[in-house]
Amino acid sequence: MNVVIIGTGNVAAVISTMIKATQHKLLQVAGRNILKAEALASSAGAEASSLDSVRTDADLYIIAVADTALPEIAQKLHVAGVVAHTAGAVTKDILANASAEYGVLYPLQSLKANLNDLPPVPFLIDGNNNKAITKITAFAGSVSHQVAIADDGKRLKLHTAAVFVNNFTNYLFAVTSDFCKKEGVDFSLLFPLMEETVRRLRTHDPADVQTGPAIRNDLLTISRHLQVLANYPLMSELYSLFTERIRGYWDRSKG
Amino acid sequence: MNVVIIGTGNVAAVISTMIKATQHKLLQVAGRNILKAEALASSAGAEASSLDSVRTDADLYIIAVADTALPEIAQKLHVAGVVAHTAGAVTKDILANASAEYGVLYPLQSLKANLNDLPPVPFLIDGNNNKAITKITAFAGSVSHQVAIADDGKRLKLHTAAVFVNNFTNYLFAVTSDFCKKEGVDFSLLFPLMEETVRRLRTHDPADVQTGPAIRNDLLTISRHLQVLANYPLMSELYSLFTERIRGYWDRSKG
């Protein structure tokens, strides 16, 4: 199908890269920032335009912009093709005036334009009618092996869950990496442990594989760790909070 | 080399499994729980014994027991071979009376005896002299591709760091999995995101790849997420804490 991408950020960049490996044709990249639009468009053999000159002859319009920019763009756009936005926490109905067929193409992944190799990207699809759902699902299926239908409510729930398993986890990694640097120990020695923590979830419930001093109620080790963290007040606070939470969680599971 | 394992828990089970793939010979598994010792020993073609009948003719004694059980076992043991414990947060010198050569063989991994396929296991090595370090390093190198020397202080720091990147992360996964179950959305759709969160650390500093509403200061999405979590007070509290922490962390990085 013929595709127009509106937006020039991380998601727009990743989807334009994905399109290159398919039979679809990227006609145009439209953006507020024309230089960024040109950069994306030229690498995909498409034309670049401002937000005021979006073509009207595409089969699918993908709006990949900041949530706050969505309302204005949705208001301006009036096309015959299917229109989809890529936002996890915004209703599909924000697009109700842009086309008779509209919906959502939400990538459930942490995407950075500058990452060299693309990770697998599950897509959550929604649409206001069968034609929209069919079209968006067909596109998603051509760029991803994992496509699921999820309405506004389910998508928002998974978007919230994603914050816990990616954003909060990555914050823990960031403070731990800083700690290792300051203390002169090698953070990369922890990579196999971190990879295993995630890998085994494909076969085990996380509630069944918890290890460490908190679940063992190993007060001596906990106090040794808190001594190690004596000069790291923010980490100490997290350590105490999580230790308490873990003890409460697995006590409850047993009871 | 000829090896004796003292202990019958997760670490003892994993090391006895690892030995099977090497040229080493597991002579004996000694444990407080003789049934568990027999189960481990028989699967490895070794003999089982109580803690009072540990052989004295091995080259390497690996004590893989709970931290609290270490002092008594270390006090009882008097052998000519090298003695190593597997604890992250206990000094090597607890073994000073067990042998003239002693040290540590600490697996920096979350090990469960019942996981079917073994993950890669980095080992942190310490010893009271060159002979101990050489012997323990040789053993570790025969069962793992990643071996590093780390004294008591460094080992305790990495043990503390491991709690953040495994125990606390797995707790976040557990509460998120529970949330998904209760809300009827598919937790496994998050696996590619979780895998990517860890995978990219091999090429990117976690401080450079943070995404999500907190670092964007996207107050509308944050309030939508908190609404989704209205019936989950423990998750709401974590959400607010991490959001505040993330905003503070990346503000500081920019400044």
Q: Is residue A63 located within the same domain as residue A100?
A: yes
Q: Does A69 touch chain B (CB under 8 A)?
A: no
Main-chain phi, psi angles of B190, to 5 degrees: -85, -10
CB atoms within 10 A of CB A167: 21
pLDDT digits (tens, 9 = 90+) for B128-157: 999 999 999 999 999 999 999 999 999 999
Q: Does A163 touch chain B (CB under 8 A)?
A: yes
A118/A130 Cα distance (integer angstroms): 30
Question: Do B166 and A195 lie within an 8 Å CB cutoff?
Answer: no
Tokens of B1: 């080399």
Domain co-membership, A176 together with A142: no
Does the distance separating the beta carbons of B197 and A198 come in below 8 Å? Answer: yes
Pair (A228, A186) in one structural domain: yes
- pLDDT, position A67: 93
Domain membership of residue B225 as a residue range: 210-255
> What is the domain count for chain B?
3
Q: Does B27 touch chain A (CB under 8 A)?
A: no
Residue B73 and residue B124 share a domain: yes
Indicate if A85 and A136 belong to the same structural domain. Answer: yes
User: Is B165 in contact with A110 (Cβ distance < 8 A)?
Assistant: no
What sign has the CA pseudo-torsion B132, B138, B140, B141? positive
The enclosing H or E element of B196 equals helix B191-199
Whether residues A173 and A116 share a domain: the answer is no
A203 and A97 inside one domain: no
Q: Which ranges of chain B have pLDDT less than 70?
A: 114-115, 252-255
Q: Please report which confidence band the pLDDT of residue A255 belongs to, taking 50, 70 and 90 as the band edges.
A: very low
Burial (CB count within 10 angstroms: exposed 0-12, middle 13-18, buried 19+), residue A56: exposed
Enumerate residues 209 to 228 of chain A having a beta carbon within 8 A of any beta carbon in chain B.
Answer: 209-216, 218, 220-221, 224-225, 228
Q: Residues A142, A148, A154, A158: is their CA dihedral positive or negative? A: negative
By the CB < 8 Å criterion, does A246 face chain B?
yes
- Is the complex ipTM higher than 0.90? yes
Question: Does the structure show a pLDDT above 80 at A34?
Answer: yes
Residue B206, chain A, CB below 8 Å: the answer is yes
Distance CA A171, CA A89 (A): 21
Residue A251's pLDDT band, with cuts at 50, 70 and 90, is: confident
Please check whether residues B139 and B47 belong to one and the same domain: yes
Radius of gyration for chain A, computed over Cα atoms and rounded to the nearest angstrom: 23
Same domain, A91 and A21: yes
